[in-house]
Structure 1
Amino acid sequence: MKTIKFIAACALWISASASFGHENSHHATSSSPVVKEQKDWGIAGDAKAVRRTITLRMGDDMRFSPSHIEVREGDTVRLRAANKGKVLHEIVIGTKTELGQHAEMMKKHPGMEHDEPYMAHVASGKTGDIVWHFNRAGSFDFACLIPGHYQAGMTGTITVLPRNP
């Protein structure tokens, strides 16, 4: 009987901590090497190739500032997300379709933890960086996918202009 109570207590503790995982904790940055996977919007970049840093401010008004940025195809950029609010925010780069699907998944599983090179989770008063190589021209998006934030309009756009001839 003690074993069953112990197992039940552990299960309750694990499920409780998982359900608050996204809202109340800063995601640990992985010490393992970044996996470079080509996405429609580019690929993880090398910090030593960065020639430009763009600071995006995030606030509890559920907005990014600026909400639109332009880069040139071939640029490796450091996107520095500065959380000026009092709650956890994140920035995730993607397509409108993929961000919408991910936001729906986050609503269903708010404790879901994820760490990809195209996202940064930023605690109140902190900054987080994404180093990204924009190797494809087009229009892409970024958003905070914490439940309620995306739905409140915490989104922005990235225009990747074609490479100079």
Structure 2
Amino acid sequence: MRRVMFLLAVPVLVVLAACGSSDEPSSTAGPDDARVIELEMRDVAFAPTQVDVRAGEKVRFVFRNTGQVTHDAFIGDQAAQDEHEKEMRGGHGDHGKGSDAVSVKPGNTAELTQTFDRPAQILIGCHQPGHYTGGMKVTVNVA
């Protein structure tokens, strides 16, 4: 009887071992081979405020709004940020599907994926009224 139980237990243990987990953090690459960078949206600040990426790197930004109000995230250089700020002030704050921007309600998350083709300094800014001018931005250093 013991031998039968042992023979039955071995395959079960092998399967369980194959399904085991580890306390080590998972890879920063997502299912699409994009590097994942998580950004927290606070009341009028992002955390972290600076990230470094490599030219040619595909990055998936995951925005988690822990603040009390809706935030947005727009990816672009300084000229694009200035233009987007004007659009938002003019009441054209809709971020269509496929744009370089998302709006995130409190307690929610959203994602943007971007490939950085060449070295540059790119910004991610929140253009809700007063947020960008109040310093709610992330500097993305592409080297």
Give me the TM-score of the superposition, normalised by structure 2. 0.73
**Bigger CA radius of gyration:** 2
What is aligned with 2:58?
76
Matched letter for residue 69 of structure 1: V
1:114 CA drift (Å): 2.1
Matched letter for residue 95 of structure 2: H
Report the Cα distance in structure 1 between the residues aligned to 2:138 and 2:59, rounded to whole angstroms: 16
1:2-50 deviations in whole A, cap 9, x for unaligned? xxxxxxxxxxxxxxxxxxxxxxxxxxxxxxxxxxxxxxxxxxxx96231
Report the Cα distance in structure 1 between the residues aligned to 2:99 and 2:80, rounded to whole angstroms: 15
Q: What SS class does the counterpart of residue 159 from structure 1 fall into? A: strand
1:113 CA drift (Å): 1.1
What is aligned with 1:8?
none
What is aligned with 1:40?
none
Give me the TM-score of the superposition, normalised by structure 1. 0.63
What runs of 5+ residues in structure 1 fail to find an aligned partner? 1-45
The alignment status of 1:138 with 2:120, answered yes or no, reads: yes
What is aligned with 1:113?
94
Percent identity, please: 31
The alignment status of 1:122 with 2:80, answered yes or no, reads: no
In the comparison of the two structures, how many residue pairs are matched?
113
1:142 CA drift (Å): 1.0
Q: What SS class does the counterpart of residue 48 from structure 1 fall into? A: coil
Q: RMSD of aligned C-alpha atoms?
A: 1.7
What is aligned with 2:132?
150
Q: What SS class does the counterpart of residue 87 from structure 1 fall into? A: coil
What is aligned with 2:38?
55
What is aligned with 1:21?
none
